[in-house]
Amino acid sequence: MHIELILFYIFSSLAFISAFMVINLTNAVHSVLFLILVFCNVAGLLLLSGAEFLAFMLLIVYVGAIAVLFLFVVMMLNVKPLSFKANNWSKVPLSLIIFSSLAFQLVSGLNVNFEFVNSDFLSTLHWNNWVLENDGLNNIEVVGRVLYTEFSFIFLSSGFILLIAMVGAIVLTMHQKSNVRKQQISVQLSRDFTGAIKFINLRK
């Protein structure tokens, strides 16, 4: 058996188990941690498929920003788990409908049959090993060349718009208070040094 196929089974099974734990756990912090594990396993599947740009973007954007933000918000809000047990059997019909629709879309999009995979089919598989891709351009280089050549103006304009939005959000959230004592360097430097120390005679 190919090592890529073994890694595919490992990543897919871990992603499925982690996704099940996200919706099954009552602790919100543990759910977010398993959500991060889902993103990491999906990134591993994308690496096996040869889409390393999407894998790294998934790690940087979702794991490094969104999932960590969810974790901080949940920890700051201190969401407590529910003390009573909800009736989960009432959600089974709606869950089956959603699962059936997603499975139908997946099967119709992939156009595959779920027959037993024999050894002849495995021998004809072509795995895209991204580690050994030294000849030619990978998808990161292709996307980078397209962004910084043909769409460079749009790319720089979007970055400038995001910078303006970040500065505007900082300015709007900063509330200046009038009764707050601030440090004034000019007043501190222009003070009289002779009156800085005062000697007091104490009675014995």
Q: What is the pLDDT of residue 138?
A: 67
Structure tokens at 12: 């897919």
Task: Say how many domains are in the chain.
Answer: 2
Q: Which of 80, 110, 125 corresponds to the end of one domain?
A: 80
Q: In this model, does residue 108 exceed pLDDT 70?
A: yes
Report the number of secondary-structure helices (H) and strands (E) in the chain: 9, 0
Mean pLDDT of the chain: 76
Least reliable range by pLDDT among 13-22, 25-34, 73-82: 73-82
Cβ atoms of 62 and 39 closer than 8 Å: yes
* CATH number of the domain within which 16 lies: 1.20.120.1200
pTM of the model: 0.53
Q: In this model, does residue 116 exceed pLDDT 50?
A: no
Q: Do 141 and 73 fall within a single domain?
A: no
Residue 35 lies in a domain: yes
* 149: containing domain: 137-172
Q: Do 76 and 142 fall within a single domain?
A: no
Q: Which amino acid is at 108?
A: S
pLDDT greater at residue 143 or residue 111: 143
For the residues 111-126, what does the mean pLDDT come to?
A: 52
